[in-house]
Copies of this chain bind each other. A is one copy, B any other.
Amino acid sequence: MKDVRVGICGLGTVGGGTFSVLSRNASLIAGRAGCSIRIGRVASRRQNESIELGDIPFSQDIFDVVNDPDIDIVVELIGGYDVARELVMAAIANGKHVVTANKALIAVHGNEIFEAAEAKGVIVAFEAGVAGGIPVIKALREGLVANRIDWLAGIINGTGNFILTEMRAGREFADVLKEAQALGYAEADPTFDVEGIDAAHKLTILASTGFGVPLQFERAYTEGISKVTPYDIEHAELLGYRIKHLGIARRREDGIELRVHPTLVPKDLLIAQVDGVLNAVLVDGDAVGQTMYYGAGAGAEATASAVIADVVDVARTVSHGSAQKVPYLGFEPGAMEELPVLPVEEIHSAYYLRVHAEDHPGVLAKISSVLSEHGINIESVVQKESELDNGKIPVIMLTHTVQERQMNQAIADLEALDDIDGPVVRIRAENFS
């Protein structure tokens, strides 16, 4: 059984973690993999002072790794789109297997990358791109292979989950975001995390892996958490719900729903209890029912754990000289379906609504009748008489499930009422039953 040689591109947080874990647990990993995994070359624009390379060749040009004939597996940990894409395509062209933690790359360029890899007969693995160290891609592609996956929902951005968790104590979004930045959980430019773009990258990959549809990141609906207020968090709690920033994908006959947005979930559901920077993915399969996968969604060694799991999967195959590949997205290319992503107006959801209304006896009747005209039933309603302000009171409602298009029309009609002040606050709600 031959050694398998890995070339690491990028020595940042995840690259450093991968190097450390591969070194520290080398003999344990070899005992599991059935072959030795050797780091054959490392390349990074910057040296990482905390890494002892020993006699492992190092270069600043990452393309040295893909051009090294001794490297079997290229591990892409540089992040970003353009150079990463070029690097991965070059590795494939050179007949090398690829392991990447780059969710943006896979979500945006995955279809092209997998086509090239299929043609060359090489593996491209990306477990570390989704939910960090949690082996959820493996669960979807292999563990749940018997199931028609009907939907999945995940807390797949730790920064956002940390912020929403802290806001439950009454703190404002901007205040907690600053703390998250100070703690290193959030980037200086937090857009990717708090606006749901990072989560949409991951959701795109989860949906394709679960449903067998091409990656369609550009059609995902994305709504961030920057407009969530402690007031709404508190009132959702009073109604028995917790607000989580969820990525939700649902398979329907006419297409798939692919959406990231703040969501009310019943407080007693397990996924509602996942707090802080932790991640969890809930998956519904027709045979197994609901399963959930929970753990660290980021961090040097947690992400390295997933990178190395992919490396070992490849190594187990390579060392047997086998051409076996679990299909990139869990389905053989010929078995993929060209289901479109549905516009968000087509989804069905329950809704939390909050309006500022005139405090007079007929106002609730007016609001209910507008909703009723659009076929929307109210499940519960709270009028906050105690918060009378300038003749207006907050009215908070939880509706039954309707199509988003109906809700949009109802909200437009509500906002046109003289009795309503300012925009209607609307947060979607799911009970996953």
Contact = CB atoms under 8 A, between A and B. Distances in A.
Interface in A282-341: 285-296, 299, 301-302, 304-309, 312-313, 316-317, 320-324, 326-327, 330-332, 334-335
B270 A274 contact: yes
A334 B30 CA distance: 11
Contacts of A320: 322-324
A143 interface: yes
Contacts of A22: 146
B305 A285 contact: yes
Give 8 nearest A-B pairs by CB, closest first.
A135-B143, A31-B335, A291-B295, A146-B308, A322-B322, A133-B288, A288-B305, A287-B301
A145 interface: yes
A380 to B, nearest CB: 24
A270 B279 CA distance: 12
Contacts of A299: 289
Contacts of A141: 32
Contacts of A304: 146, 287
Given A138-B139, A313-B142, A327-B34, A148 B28 contact: yes
A39 interface: no
Given A142-B312, A308-B146, A289 B294 contact: no
From A133, A274, A327, residue with most partner B Cβ within 10 Å: A133
B331 A324 contact: no
Contacts of A290: 295-296
A330 B296 CA distance: 22
Contacts of A295: 288-292
A25 interface: yes
A138 B288 CA distance: 15
B146 A25 contact: yes
Given A134-B291, A316-B324, 20 more contacts: A21-B287, A29-B146, A31-B331, A31-B332, A32-B332, A34-B327, A127-B143, A133-B285, A135-B142, A135-B143, A139-B139, A143-B306, A146-B309, A287-B302, A291-B296, A292-B292, A292-B295, A317-B322, A320-B322, A322-B322
A136 B301 CA distance: 20
A274 B280 CA distance: 14
Interface of A: 17, 21-22, 24-25, 28-34, 127, 132-135, 138-139, 141-148, 212, 268, 270, 273-274, 285-296, 299, 301-302, 304-309, 312-313, 316-317, 320-324, 326-327, 330-332, 334-335
Contact of A273 (B21, B31, B135, B273): B273
Given A30-B335, A294-B294, A288 B312 contact: no
B287 A133 contact: yes
Contacts of A321: 322
Contact of A288 (B270, B301, B323): B301
12 contacts: A22-B146, A25-B147, A28-B212, A31-B331, A133-B291, A143-B306, A144-B309, A146-B304, A147-B305, A291-B295, A293-B294, A322-B324
A34 to B, nearest CB: 5
A393 B274 CA distance: 40
Nearest to A272: B273
A296 B317 CA distance: 31
Contact of A138 (B132, B138, B301): B138
